[in-house]
């Protein structure tokens, strides 16, 4: 009923959830009349105002019936509760919490819950409007008022001032409340003490008396030791207030009342509903004659409470942190202590829970209450506790230890009941007198059940219920058996009941003593405490406790209120997920900061930093300093590790500690169960860290689309820094770092990662293809076979990047280590696809000039005819404009120009791909030397066909075969897409393509940029890569056709090329071809790179003396240029 009334109050106070009829303008007049005249409503007299109510009567009844009948149920419950109170008072029951604990605690809880329920009723907004509107609609529908409405309306009127009405209802029943609270006096004074007194009494210390460490903890009031102080405050303050006529004149109860009032400023009603104690009491007492003195005393207590209770509870929390930490350390080391010392655990958890509840209630109200009062303490207006998270963590850890070793506790207490409690109770049984038959059967049944504790059929719930019934029977005045005369029996039975709960009710005991589901209803405090915890490095390891608190939200559910189950569970899931998200986000932030610090340390060892140090040292050595000038500060790498005081923490130390604490939080537990859902913090953290590291890597690589990406060596440095930081995470969380890093980097070697975002492989592939190689095709960048890198030779063209810093051996090895063999394969496939695209475009040119090329093939030894053919192919062809090529670097000129341009592009791509494979081979030889030697041995002893069969495996390690099988597959795929399905036609086209390339070579001699620079073994227009292109595409094309005539076709190309080049030597046009000797060198490089040709064959086609003289001439010209 409390839950239902609480939900109604919350619904009516929220404009978004209150009944829609209360906001309906058409019935505003009717609602005003209902509220004004409640509970007497004359529908006939005000019929004009209720016209719309009558029209909407069915909807009103359907929507407000839940509200109305909840109030009706409350009316019935009120009658039954008052009847129970009256019956117990008439039977003159004797309540003593030290004897009949269950009966007394149950009675006081019923009294307090009844009071809380009536106060909640008085706080429901629009209660008159809801009840009156429903009754009016009911009257219109049935012709008469709802039967319970008159009494219900009277109850609403009576409880406008709930405390006064409650005092009228419960005042005459003061005897029972008086006796119950009087028995509580000694216990309450023993429990409600300061932290210093608790420390001196060593209340929950296991090591205070080492000799008694293995003995069971025993007291005469065992159930009262872990009784909530918050509950006792409610019993005392509400009980004495409603029975003020008699209890305030009892000195013992009045002193108890004063002590309870000094404990705080508010009192819990239900969940987050509370009542301000002093305004309630003062407002009530001021209406009573003769209570002016009491009012003055209450004001004095109020002032003292404001001054003292804040520090009182702060010191208690401080004491409980150390005490619970001690318990956690001892129990973690010796779980067997949970058996004899479980009472200490319940006491510690209960004390801590009381302090948390007190703090949650007072955080919001404290600034409003004391804000207007001047104080010397600047922090007196706040009661926040920065160390609260540590207390919560120890509570959670103790809970988990108890649940983990529940079988140890159960086994110990089973043996204890069987070996001691049952025997002692059996002996006491023989001394009992004046027991009635029913009472005898109840107590004997309890003792028999205790004696059979080891039997599987034993029902301990029934035993505890029998003991409760026994208390109820013998506590009545007419019972001949007086429980107070047999105090030892009562103490022994209460102790045995406690021990029985340790056998089968451990989860319920955990919930009773340490349930923090109240946080579900303090959303703002939950969020604020979590953020505060994560913002403090030293407290951040305790942040995981809030995820466990979220799992406890389901404890606030009631079986008879299923309507809020889904909402509470969802709230728990959302909060748990939010805790883990915040933890991961903060961890990722610290990880980024720590990675940045690691990166700065690595950069201090870079050549750039070394150059700066040399410059500073040189400047200091040669500078002439005046008296006021100081030399430049020269700090060598490692300077940051020099310390004079270890307590002085660097930023690196702070980040390391912060990260360690955060990872300790995530690694505290394997899983957190929230209802039917399981959260795994470690997996949660690793998954989100993987995403964060990927994002951080990609942002570092290329902050925006227009910037040049970082060099691979810089990215490898970042990766090393990240790995160093992750090793710190691994040392704390102990997760599989190798698998984590391999999985993450494996994704970076693919085109897209698991989230569909770009990777290192795709970014570098696109940049090398679309930027670097495109610059090379525009002659801004040159491939140097000597330097094994692409370099910039054109001084007139300024480049936004240094190409050699992206393509030299060191950088490409770094790239290989970044993206791995899979990434190199991905990049090589894209490069191969571009080569195949260029071949497709060349095939189109061949088809357009098929007849001319056929003539060139059969007339290559006829100079005049070849000159005529060359002139025809050198003429501008407008069809080239309409070419289907999408390559921006294609030339809209003669066919020969187009062939040279495209074959050069292929050569540049092949050269870059060879660099990649060489870097891959170097890295794998360094990482897997034995495997590489074995594979090389296999390749060396294989014939041509066998090499083709193992081509894919060898290419994956950087070892290239004579025939590029990947290019063969790409050409075949594009041929099928272009409907080039006739094998014979395709073969002829391939042959003519080689002819076209051969007769195009003399054109290079007319180009100024074809000059061969011996220093770099390169030509400014990259024509020196043409031999690589011819060898690669020739091997691939003629292997595709499967005629085993690759050597023949290569010899045919050599014959054609040699013929057209020899014709240059004797023609009168040689003056116009200053770079013909550079073209001769291309023929030599072609034979050198081609595995199917040799120098003997070349000597039969082309005089080697021309090649020697060409080399000598190019070297001389290069020397003059230098």
Give Dmax over CA atoms of the chain in angstroms: 144
Residue among 686, 685, 705, 709 at smallest CA distance from 697: 709
**Residues 787-811, mean pLDDT to the nearest whole number:** 85
- Can you tell me the distance from the alpha carbon of 365 to that of 352, in angstroms, rounded to the nearest whole number? 21
Q: Is the dihedral of CA 547, 550, 552, 554 positive or negative?
A: negative
Please answer whether residues 962 and 1091 qualify as being in contact, where contact means their C-beta atoms are separated by less than 8 angstroms: yes
| Residue 889, pLDDT above cutoff 60 | no
Cα 848 from chain centroid?
Answer: 62
pLDDT band at 1119 (very low <50, low <70, confident <90, very high): low
Residue among 69, 151, 159 at smallest CA distance from 119: 159
Give the count of beta carbons closer than 10 Å to the beta carbon of residue 653: 12
Q: Directed axis angle between helix 983-1004 and helix 1076-1089, to 10°? A: 140
Q: What is the DSSP string of 457-486?
A: T--HHHHHHHHHHHHHHHTSTT-S--GGGG
**Residues 635-655, mean pLDDT to the nearest whole number:** 79
Dihedral Cα 837, 842, 848, 852, nearest 10 deg: -170
- Can you tell me the distance from the alpha carbon of 712 to that of 789, in angstroms, rounded to the nearest whole number? 14
Please answer whether residues 1081 and 1107 qualify as being in contact, where contact means their C-beta atoms are separated by less than 8 angstroms: yes
| Residue 628, pLDDT above cutoff 60 | no
Please answer whether residues 159 and 121 qualify as being in contact, where contact means their C-beta atoms are separated by less than 8 angstroms: yes
Tens-place pLDDT, residues 143-154: 888 899 999 999
**Residues 1091-1097, mean pLDDT to the nearest whole number:** 86
Dihedral Cα 133, 137, 142, 146, nearest 10 deg: -10
- Can you tell me the distance from the alpha carbon of 154 to that of 127, in angstroms, rounded to the nearest whole number? 13
- Can you tell me the distance from the alpha carbon of 871 to that of 896, in angstroms, rounded to the nearest whole number? 10
| Residue 288, pLDDT above cutoff 50 | yes
Which positions ≥6 away from 750 have C-beta within 8 Å? Answer: 759, 761, 762, 822, 823, 826
**Mean residue pLDDT across the chain:** 88
pLDDT band at 870 (very low <50, low <70, confident <90, very high): confident
Residue among 508, 525, 511 at smallest CA distance from 460: 508
| pLDDT higher at 359 or 882 | 359
| The pLDDT value given to residue 890 | 41
pLDDT band at 681 (very low <50, low <70, confident <90, very high): very high
| Residue 261, pLDDT above cutoff 60 | yes
pLDDT band at 211 (very low <50, low <70, confident <90, very high): confident
pLDDT band at 418 (very low <50, low <70, confident <90, very high): very high
| The pLDDT value given to residue 1120 | 62
**Residues 692-707, mean pLDDT to the nearest whole number:** 86
Which positions ≥6 away from 640 have C-beta within 8 Å? Answer: 601, 650, 652
| Residue 943, pLDDT above cutoff 70 | yes
CA distances from 748 to 178, 584, 755, 765, 864 (A): 75, 22, 11, 12, 58
Q: In 505-641, which residue ranges form alpha helices assigned H by DSSP?
A: 506-514, 523-535, 545-551, 565-603, 607-622
Tens-place pLDDT, residues 376-398: 454 555 688 899 999 999 999 99
* Max avg pLDDT among 64-68, 292-296, 497-501, 1087-1091: 497-501
- Using the structure block, give the residue that is written with the tokens 């390749």: 939
Structure tokens at 477: 């005045």
| Residue 936, pLDDT above cutoff 80 | yes
- Can you tell me the distance from the alpha carbon of 987 to that of 994, in angstroms, rounded to the nearest whole number? 11
Peptide bond into 39 cis (omega under 30): yes
Tens-place pLDDT, residues 713-726: 999 999 999 998 99
pLDDT band at 1066 (very low <50, low <70, confident <90, very high): low
| The pLDDT value given to residue 1067 | 59
Q: What is the DSSP string of 937-987?
A: HHHHT--HHHHHHTHHHHHHTTPPPSS-HHHHHHHHHHHHHTT---HHHHH
| The pLDDT value given to residue 1071 | 52
| Residue 1110, pLDDT above cutoff 50 | yes
| Residue 624, pLDDT above cutoff 80 | no
Q: Name the strand (E) or helix (H) holding 802.
A: none
| The pLDDT value given to residue 880 | 47
**Residues 555-578, mean pLDDT to the nearest whole number:** 92
- Can you tell me the distance from the alpha carbon of 265 to that of 242, in angstroms, rounded to the nearest whole number? 18
Vertex 197 angle, CA 192 and 198, to 5°: 75
**Residues 773-798, mean pLDDT to the nearest whole number:** 86
Q: What percent of the chain has pLDDT over 70?
A: 95
Range list of β-strands (E), 579-727: 672-674, 677-679
| The pLDDT value given to residue 535 | 92
| The pLDDT value given to residue 674 | 93
Tens-place pLDDT, residues 988-1004: 999 999 999 998 888 88
| Residue 83, pLDDT above cutoff 90 | yes
| Residue 884, pLDDT above cutoff 50 | no
Residue among 83, 3, 558 at smallest CA distance from 269: 3
**Residues 157-178, mean pLDDT to the nearest whole number:** 91
- Can you tell me the distance from the alpha carbon of 475 to that of 88, in angstroms, rounded to the nearest whole number? 10
**Residues 1068-1086, mean pLDDT to the nearest whole number:** 76
Please answer whether residues 754 and 747 qualify as being in contact, where contact means their C-beta atoms are separated by less than 8 angstroms: yes
| Residue 249, pLDDT above cutoff 90 | no
**Residues 405-417, mean pLDDT to the nearest whole number:** 95
| The pLDDT value given to residue 1121 | 60
| Residue 623, pLDDT above cutoff 60 | yes
Residue 758 bridge partners (DSSP): 752
| The pLDDT value given to residue 939 | 84
Tens-place pLDDT, residues 451-487: 999 888 888 999 999 999 999 999 998 888 988 889 9
Q: What is the DSSP string of 111-130?
A: HHHHHHHHHHHHH-TTHHHH
Vertex 372 angle, CA 368 and 373, to 5°: 115
| The pLDDT value given to residue 278 | 92
| The pLDDT value given to residue 878 | 53
Q: What is the DSSP string of 730-786?
A: HHHH---HHHHHHHHHHHHTSSB-TTS-B-HHHHHHHHIIIIIHHHHHTTSSEEETT
| Residue 914, pLDDT above cutoff 50 | yes
Please answer whether residues 285 and 166 qualify as being in contact, where contact means their C-beta atoms are separated by less than 8 angstroms: no
| Residue 264, pLDDT above cutoff 80 | yes
**Residues 831-858, mean pLDDT to the nearest whole number:** 90
Residue length, the chain? 1122
| The pLDDT value given to residue 16 | 84
| Residue 1072, pLDDT above cutoff 70 | no
- Can you tell me the distance from the alpha carbon of 108 to that of 236, in angstroms, rounded to the nearest whole number? 9
Residue 784 bridge partners (DSSP): 789
| The pLDDT value given to residue 378 | 46
Which positions ≥6 away from 1000 have C-beta within 8 Å? Answer: 873, 896, 899, 900, 903
**Residues 1003-1009, mean pLDDT to the nearest whole number:** 85
Pairing of strands 266-270, 273-276: antiparallel
Residue among 746, 879, 771, 882 at smallest CA distance from 823: 746
| Residue 710, pLDDT above cutoff 70 | yes
Structure tokens at 413: 């207490």
- Can you tell me the distance from the alpha carbon of 1039 to that of 133, in angstroms, rounded to the nearest whole number? 93
């Amino acid at each position: 009923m409390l839950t239902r009334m609480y939900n109604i109050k919350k619904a009516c106070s929220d404009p978004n959830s209150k009944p829609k009829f209360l906001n309906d303008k058409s019935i505003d007049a009717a609602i005003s009349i209902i509220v004004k005249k409640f509970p007497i409503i004359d529908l006939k007299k005000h019929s004009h105002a209720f016209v719309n109510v009558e029209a909407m009567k069915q909807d009103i009844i359907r929507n407000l019936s839940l509200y109305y009948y909840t109030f009706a149920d409350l009316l019935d419950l009120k009658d039954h509760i008052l009847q129970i109170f009256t019956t117990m008072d008439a039977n003159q029951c004797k309540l003593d919490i030290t004897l009949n604990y269950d009966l007394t605690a149950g009675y006081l809880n019923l009294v307090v819950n009844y009071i809380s329920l009536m106060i909640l009723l008085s706080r429901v907004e629009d209660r008159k409007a809801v009840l009156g509107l429903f009754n009016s609609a009911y009257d219109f529908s049935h012709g008469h008022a709802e039967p319970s409405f008159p009494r219900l309306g009277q109850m609403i009127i009576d409880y406008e001032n709930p405390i006064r009405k409650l005092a009228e209802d419960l005042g005459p029943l003061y005897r029972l409340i008086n006796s119950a609270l009087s028995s509580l006096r000694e216990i309450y004074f023993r429990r409600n003490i300061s932290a210093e007194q608790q420390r001196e009494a060593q209340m929950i210390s296991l090591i205070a008396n080492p000799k008694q460490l293995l003995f069971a903890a025993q007291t005469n009031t065992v159930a009262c030791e872990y009784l909530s102080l918050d509950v006792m405050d409610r019993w005392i303050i509400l009980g004495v207030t409603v029975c003020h006529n008699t209890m305030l004149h009892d000195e013992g109860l009045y002193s108890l009342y004063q002590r309870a009032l000094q404990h705080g400023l508010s009192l819990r009603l239900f969940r987050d509903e509370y009542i301000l104690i002093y305004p309630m009491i003062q407002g009530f007492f001021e209406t009573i004659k003769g209570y002016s003195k009491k009012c003055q005393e209450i004001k004095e207590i109020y002032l003292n409470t404001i001054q003292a209770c804040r520090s009182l509870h702060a010191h208690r929390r401080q004491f409980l942190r150390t005490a619970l930490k001690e318990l956690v350390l001892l129990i973690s080391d010796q779980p067997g202590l949970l058996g004899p010392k479980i009472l200490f655990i319940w006491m510690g958890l209960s004390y801590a829970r009381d302090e948390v509840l007190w703090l949650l209630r007072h955080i919001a109200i404290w600034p409003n209450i004391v804000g207007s009062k001047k104080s010397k303490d600047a922090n007196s207006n706040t009661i926040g506790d920065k160390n609260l998270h540590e207390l919560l963590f120890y509570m959670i850890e103790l809970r988990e230890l108890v649940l983990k070793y529940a079988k140890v506790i159960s086994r110990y207490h089973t043996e204890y009941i069987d070996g001691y409690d049952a025997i002692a109770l059996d002996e006491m049984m023989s001394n009992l007198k004046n027991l009635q038959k029913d009472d005898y059967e109840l107590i004997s049944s309890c003792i028999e059940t205790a004696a059979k504790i080891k039997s599987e059929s034993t029902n301990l719930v029934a035993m505890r219920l029998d003991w409760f019934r026994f208390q109820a029977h013998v506590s009545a005045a007419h019972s001949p058996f007086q429980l107070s005369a047999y105090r030892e029996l009562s103490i022994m039975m209460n102790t045995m009941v406690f021990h029985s709960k340790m056998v089968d009710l451990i989860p319920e005991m955990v919930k009773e003593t340490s349930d923090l589901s109240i946080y579900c209803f303090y959303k703002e405090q939950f969020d604020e405490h979590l953020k505060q915890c994560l913002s403090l490095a030293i407290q951040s390891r305790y942040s995981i406790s809030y995820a466990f608190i979220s799992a406890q939200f389901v404890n606030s559910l009631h079986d008879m209120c299923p309507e809020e189950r889904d909402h509470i569970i969802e709230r728990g899931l959302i909060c748990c997920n939010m805790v883990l998200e915040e933890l991961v986000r903060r961890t990722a932030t610290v990880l980024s900061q720590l990675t940045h610090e690691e990166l700065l340390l690595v950069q201090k060892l870079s050549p750039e930093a070394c150059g700066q140090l040399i410059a500073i040292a040189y400047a200091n050595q040669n500078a002439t300093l005046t008296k006021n000038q100081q030399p430049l500060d020269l700090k060598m790498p490692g300077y940051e590790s020099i310390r004079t005081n270890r307590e002085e923490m660097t930023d690196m130390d702070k980040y390391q500690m912060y990260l360690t604490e955060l990872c300790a939080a995530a690694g505290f537990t394997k899983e957190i169960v929230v209802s039917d859902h399981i959260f795994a913090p470690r997996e949660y953290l690793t998954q989100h860290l993987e995403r964060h590291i990927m994002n951080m890597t990609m942002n570092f690589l290329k902050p925006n689309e227009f910037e040049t990406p970082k060099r691979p060596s810089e990215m490898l440095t970042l990766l090393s820094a990240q790995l160093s930081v992750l090793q710190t995470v691994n040392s704390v969380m102990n997760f599989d770092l190798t698998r984590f890093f391999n999985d993450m980097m494996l994704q970076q070697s693919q085109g897209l990662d698991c989230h569909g975002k770009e990777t290192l492989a795709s970014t570098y592939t696109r940049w090398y293809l679309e930027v670097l190689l495109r610059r090379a095709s525009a002659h801004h960048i040159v491939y140097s076979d000597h330097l094994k890198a692409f370099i910039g030779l054109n001084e007139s063209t300024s480049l936004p990047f240094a190409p050699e810093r992206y393509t030299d051996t060191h950088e490409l090895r770094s790239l290989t280590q970044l993206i791995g063999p899979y990434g190199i394969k991905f990049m090589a496939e894209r490069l191969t696809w571009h080569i195949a695209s260029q071949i497709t475009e060349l095939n189109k040119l061949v088809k357009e000039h098929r007849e001319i090329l056929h003539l060139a093939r059969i007339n290559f030894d006829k100079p005049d005819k070849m000159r005529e053919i060359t002139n025809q192919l050198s003429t501008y062809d407008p069809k080239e404009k309409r070419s289907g090529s999408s390559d921006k670097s294609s030339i809209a000129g003669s066919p020969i120009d187009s062939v040279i341009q495209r074959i050069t592009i292929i050569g540049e791509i092949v050269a870059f791909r060879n660099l990649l494979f060489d870097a891959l081979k170097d890295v794998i030889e360094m990482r897997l030397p034995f495997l590489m030697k074995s594979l090389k041995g296999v390749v060396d002893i294989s014939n041509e066909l066998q090499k083709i069969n193992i081509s894919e495996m060898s290419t994956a390690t950087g070892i290239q075969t004579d025939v590029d099988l990947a290019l063969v597959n790409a050409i075949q795929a594009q041929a099928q897409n272009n409907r080039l399905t006739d094998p014979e036609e395709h073969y002829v086209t391939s042959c003519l393509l080689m002819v076209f390339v051969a007769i195009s070579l003399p054109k290079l001699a007319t180009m100024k940029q074809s000059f061969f620079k011996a220093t770099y073994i390169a030509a400014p227009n990259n024509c020196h890569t043409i031999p690589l292109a011819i060898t690669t595409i020739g091997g691939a094309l003629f292997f595709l056709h499967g005629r085993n005539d690759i050597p023949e076709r290569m010899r045919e190309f050599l014959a054609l090329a040699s013929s057209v080049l020899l014709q240059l030597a004797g023609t009168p046009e040689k003056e116009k071809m200053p770079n013909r000797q550079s073209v001769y060198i291309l023929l030599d490089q072609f034979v050198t790179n081609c595995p199917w040709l040799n120098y003997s064959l070349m000597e039969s086609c082309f005089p080697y003396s021309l090649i020697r003289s060409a080399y000598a001439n190019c070297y001389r010209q290069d020397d003059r240029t230098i």
